[in-house]
Structure 1
Amino acid sequence: MFSKILIANRGEIAVRIIRACKEMGVATVAVYSEADKNALHVALADQSYCIGGPEASESYLNENQIISTAILAGAQAIHPGYGFLSENAHFARACRKNGLVFIGPDPESMERIGNKALLKELIRSTCLTVIPGTKTVASAAEARQAADGIGYPVMLKACAGGGGRGIRLIHSEDELEDAYYQATSEAVSAFGDGSVYLEKYIFPARHVELQILADEYGNAVCLGDRDCSLQRRNQKLLEETPSPAVNDGQRQGIIELAVDAVKKIGYVGAGTLEFLLDREGNFWFMEMNVRLQVEHCVTEMLTGFDLVKWQIRIAAGIPLNFIQKDVRIKGSAIECRINAGSCGALEMLHVPGGPSVRFDTCLVTGTVVSPYYDSLLGKLIVYAKTREEALRKMRAALCELVIGGISTNIEEQLRIVEDERFISGNYDLAFMGNR
């Protein structure tokens, strides 16, 4: 096991990783930008180093500075969290070159799986059903020809990255050229890679994902499914597990196929397979995320397995000590993402409590929310024996959560969990007006 880990991230996920390391008896090293000098993760870590200016490009994306700091601090491994460098094969390779363990998949797997168009070709060799689509399309003309073959509407997607960027829904040929240049430009800006591909637009549908853990000894387990259909402009707002749209038979079947697929492609680490679930109950494979997901907490609350600790153990060469039958999916867990609507200093913070209520955050009174980073302030998670009880618990927790001094989306989340469509469980990707 590692004796010291550097966390190459900020915010609530940096705090989450530090907490896991402390519970494992592992020392931690925090890195921070000039804008984050008073951040909670800086105070909680055993060692902290400023690595650059407030812009992410000057600090949290500065590969050389992060690696140099890890070596200086005597860390053996780097945990990238999510976002920033978490899916960067070049950074993972640089870690290995400098004798550091990247807590995540190896760079070769990241390159093979990180390109969504190439991954679909790989997945087609398994028993999972892939959404009809193309390999990388090199021009608007090529995209137009492919779209004619697939049939409109189609989705144009960036091959690299995630977070809803580089994605365009195209209803007709008239929209294609503008959408192509918008998507490629956005992909270059966000990921440094403008390559895109097309896939059939499946609608209505739900966004369902499966959480996987796999070690280097050929063991793999699935920790159940999460429903991530509550989205605005391809950005997730709320997640729950298990999905109310998936029955036990469907769940067991797709879990078996997913575990088999992960073993066949030789993946090692924590990963998430993402699907569209249509009204006929068909699972259409979309992509795989080779990192910790923001919404990993609901899976932890439901199953009792600590995903961050298992990421660290797997990277240290420790095999999984449980099998699929040990994963029990009972009850219901719901997560609301609490986002900032403005910048400024936090004047008051009251966090809800009670059994099976969790708030993962980096906030303390006086925290300054800056314009440089993601708007996520924290994640409110509840668990209960039934979905009905979990909904009541979430409504109570949202009413109790107080974040003063800045605007947030707490009221919007409360409206969502009070909406009859959500309460019934009969919702899909159109809930927030996505088309």
Structure 2
Amino acid sequence: MDHLKQQRGEKVILVSVSVQMLEDLDAEEFHLLAQSAGAEILEHVYAQRIRPDAKLFIGSGKAEEIAALAEQHDADLVIFDHALTPAQARNLEKIMHCRVVDRTELILDIFAQRARTYEGKLQVELAQLQHLSSRLIRSRGDLDSQKGGIGLRGPGETVLETDRRLLRIRMGQLKAKIEKVKQTRTQGRVARQKAAVPTVSLVGYTNAGKSTLFNILADSDVYAADQLFATLDPTLRRLNWDGIGNLVLADTVGFVRNLSHSLVESFKATLEETVEATLLLHVIDSSSPDMLEQIEAVEKVLKEIGADVPVLLVYNKIDATGEQAKIIYKAPHQPGRVYISAHTQQGLDLLRQAVHECLMGNIQSFELKLKPAYGKLRNQLYELNVIQSEQYDDQGNLHLHVIMAPHKLEQLIKQAHLPISEILGDRASLFQKPLEEFEIKD
């Protein structure tokens, strides 16, 4: 099929076309995409049009110019930074005498190189076949012919029809396999939800630093590199977060502008970790000149997959911008933005605090009095790493100073079936809801 070979060093000419009636794309990002696919870039040609040409997308003069460059450099491939119709790609190949691929095929090739898990490989193959199915055209003269010869004459399907049928069968098999993987993931999510284990998903534009941040927070070794789509498969890690307890952290595929709807559909199973998360950390490359456009692109994809989840904006790479590490609140105890550097680890304590507040709400200081028999509660508080100090009195009672979310403390005391008033004293009134809260209002 017409996609880049999975080997480094194919000689490539890039074509960026600025079309007035279409969204302007970032030529530098296109260059990075080609490099991520392992291309050896010979030339980067720029063109402008009011609207795409129906036959060639670009003008015939510009097509001849690119054809001359391809012949001069002995190019293997010409890549366009827009989606081409099958007819446009075929017509361009006739003029340029080499393969022509578009932005979608380029991204699919990068996905194919990055896929490491069974699920990732299934999704890439399905996306490639869906793309190919729309491009099955009569490029060979015999595609519309029926098989002939002794014993083979008579009604039957053409070669083109055979190809389409085989594609449909394979795509059906892939969809069934992906559905099984999806069911397994769903079972895992249901189990986590029953155990009240929150899931925090990292999302963001490709190369924003999600995997680097994930590795630091999860003490993991997920592949992280300064390239586009370094991560394709979702990675989940269960970890113990101070003041929260067990938490699942998920790293997901990066987004990119002008990601076709079919690509988003193909990778919905991967993105479901995002849709079902308790909290999204939207990691932003604050050093990028296209920061606002990248934020918009991510929000667009989140809307398309139906992710109605609380979002904390994480402005990464402040080591490059000179910003100070800080939290900006949109309301009391509701963090909206946090500024960090995953590379230098600036502001990570603030990020942990912000995640804690997003998930647990207001954090307060409490003095607890525990009898010797309440040792299990003490152990749970130690596991949450919320105990600031402790001391025993003459009666053998343990006095603890803790800093944590009130509802988490209430949950632990009630689960242990212990008397709140005895443990908290005067502060116990904080957890006694006034009667008017339960009145039915008109």
Provide TM-score, normalisation by structure 1: 0.29
- Whose relative contact order is higher, 1 or 2, with alpha carbons under 8 Å and at least 6 apart? 1
Higher percent of residues as helix = 2
Larger Rg: 2
Higher percent of residues as strand = 1
Provide TM-score, normalisation by structure 2: 0.29
